[in-house]
Amino acid sequence: MKAFFKGAGLLGLMLVCSAFLLAGCGEDKVQTIKIGFNLPLTGDIPEVGEGSKNAAEMYLKDINDAGGLDVGGTKYPLEFVYMDNESKAESATNVALKLIDQEKVVAIIGPNSSKQAVPAGGTCNDNRVPMISPWSTNPSTTLDRPWVFRAAFLDPFQGPVVADFAAKKFNAKTAAVLFDVSNDYSKGLAEIFKTSWEAKGLGPVVAFESHGTKDQDFSAQLTKIVSTNPDFLFVPNNYNQVALIVNQARDLGYKGPFMGSDAWGTPDLVKLCGEQCYGNYFSTHYAAAGAQGATKVFIDRYTELYGATPADYAALTWDSIGMLVEAIKNAGQVYSDPVEMRTAIRDGLAAIKSFDGITGASKFDAQGDPIKCAVVVKISDDGEFVFEESVCP
């Protein structure tokens, strides 16, 4: 009887070993390349997180349906890990740490907004993990941070673009500004615009008013602005705030034009703002209407999949992933040690001197910032973002 159980045990052991061999024990399993996404899926700007995730899912499917990313002759599947930063600065740093320490990602895409990207960029740089922000335009995101890159132009370029366009389009001699003092992006761009406007000798900034991120009543600031009778009002705010500001300004009797920035560039702006936003302009990264080539292909595919036109942050997320893919290919091989792989990707990103994306061609400076064109779009009477002009460095 003992011999039977002994024999049965031996047979069982052989069957287990055979099962492992059939499962590929004798083969090298192809490693997955794990990439993190630090996104505002809830909070003040959930549309931004959703659009970025949608674009990422499209890119992921394309790569994995083709068998994976070809690096040095071997195809590696990609894995994307999405985490919600709640549109908050503190949450963005916490998400970055979770992606780095718990998920062991080799690179991070996002955050988008400068309010989250500036602190998260510091965390990624301190931990020596490559990060690409698709949408952040504040210089501090990448400043003296060799591990942090971006796909968007910078506010020192965007500010003068807004000033020049408004002066020409509105024949403006005076300007007013209303901005979010708690938002790095809004505050930084407002200050850059004011400096640029005054340096160009275009006339005075007759009102420079601020508010808090959670404010919903802007009547006190707008009353001061309306009393100065500016030729236009610059509002470098997130789209959810813009909708409130524009409608409240009209209620207070302001009849002049508004000028916005790239944070206006989401379809939700028109949904929230309505006809009061029609006919106004903002600077941004690309114009969906009239797009051609690879940009049109992306827009058509996205629209068919998700039933909406992709905003600039979705297109910039696509380009950010493209930059990361190029960096991984530049590395030439995939390392099993995430620390080693992160260094190879950072070096691969630094080696990119130019990149042709769906938001335009870029060249990169020593800071890791792209030098690329901006566009100004008009919000048409149909609520579409229509190309007005392109401005290049």
Tens digit of each residue's pLDDT (9 = 90 or more) over 27-68? 456 799 999 999 999 999 999 999 999 999 999 999 999 999
Q: What is the pLDDT of residues 339-361, one digit of tens each?
A: 999 999 999 999 999 999 999 99
Asked if 96 and 51 sit in the same domain, the reply is yes
Q: What type of residue sits at position 11?
A: L
* Model confidence band, residue 6 (pLDDT cutoffs 50, 70, 90): very low
Please, how many CA atoms are within 13 Å of residue 198, restricted to the half-sphere of its CB? 12
Asked if 180 and 272 sit in the same domain, the reply is yes
In angstroms, the CA 370 to CA 96 distance is: 23
4, part of any domain: no
pLDDT computed for residue 289 by the predictor: 82
Asked if 81 and 175 sit in the same domain, the reply is no
388, part of any domain: no
Q: Which residues form the domain of 45? A: 33-153+291-373
Asked if 43 and 136 sit in the same domain, the reply is yes
In angstroms, the CA 327 to CA 236 distance is: 32
Dig out the tokens for 10 from the structure.
């031996």
Asked if 146 and 295 sit in the same domain, the reply is yes
Mean pLDDT for 150-161 is: 95
In angstroms, the CA 133 to CA 38 distance is: 9
145: DSSP letter = -
How many structural domains is the chain composed of?
A: 2
Q: What is the pLDDT of residues 89-127, one digit of tens each?
A: 999 999 999 999 999 999 999 999 999 999 999 999 999
Dig out the tokens for 295 from the structure.
């940009």
391, part of any domain: no
Out of 239, 264, 284, a domain closes at: 284
Asked if 165 and 280 sit in the same domain, the reply is yes
3, part of any domain: no
Q: Are 52 and 302 contacting, i.e. CB atoms less than 8 angstroms apart?
A: no
361, part of any domain: yes
Asked if 276 and 313 sit in the same domain, the reply is no
Residue with tokens 């003092």: 181
Q: Is the pLDDT of residue 16 over 80?
A: no
Asked if 267 and 278 sit in the same domain, the reply is yes
pLDDT computed for residue 367 by the predictor: 85
Residue with tokens 């899912």: 57
Q: Is the pLDDT of residue 242 over 90?
A: yes
367, part of any domain: yes
Mean pLDDT for 176-195 is: 96
Q: What is the pTM of this model?
A: 0.88
Q: What is the mean pLDDT of the chain?
A: 92
Q: Is the pLDDT of residue 210 over 80?
A: yes
Out of 251, 284, 317, a domain closes at: 284
Mean pLDDT for 274-281 is: 96
Q: Is the pLDDT of residue 1 over 60?
A: no
Q: Is the pLDDT of residue 236 over 80?
A: yes
Asked if 131 and 88 sit in the same domain, the reply is yes
Task: Report residue 220 CA to chain centroid gap.
Answer: 32
Q: Is the pLDDT of residue 374 over 70?
A: yes
Q: Is the pLDDT of residue 155 over 70?
A: yes
Q: Is the pLDDT of residue 186 over 70?
A: yes
pLDDT computed for residue 28 by the predictor: 53
Asked if 129 and 166 sit in the same domain, the reply is no
Asked if 159 and 277 sit in the same domain, the reply is yes
* Model confidence band, residue 18 (pLDDT cutoffs 50, 70, 90): very low
Asked if 176 and 268 sit in the same domain, the reply is yes
pLDDT computed for residue 160 by the predictor: 95
188, part of any domain: yes
23, part of any domain: no
Write the CATH number for 225.
3.40.50.2300
261: DSSP letter = -
Q: What is the pLDDT of residues 303-349, one digit of tens each?
A: 999 999 999 999 999 999 999 999 999 999 999 999 999 999 999 99
End-to-end Cα, the chain, rounded Å = 87
Q: Is the pLDDT of residue 23 over 50?
A: no
Out of 261, 284, 307, a domain closes at: 284
- Three-state secondary structure string covering 373-386: CEEEEEECCCCCEE
Q: What is the pLDDT of residues 244-275, one digit of tens each?
A: 999 999 999 999 999 999 999 988 899 999 99
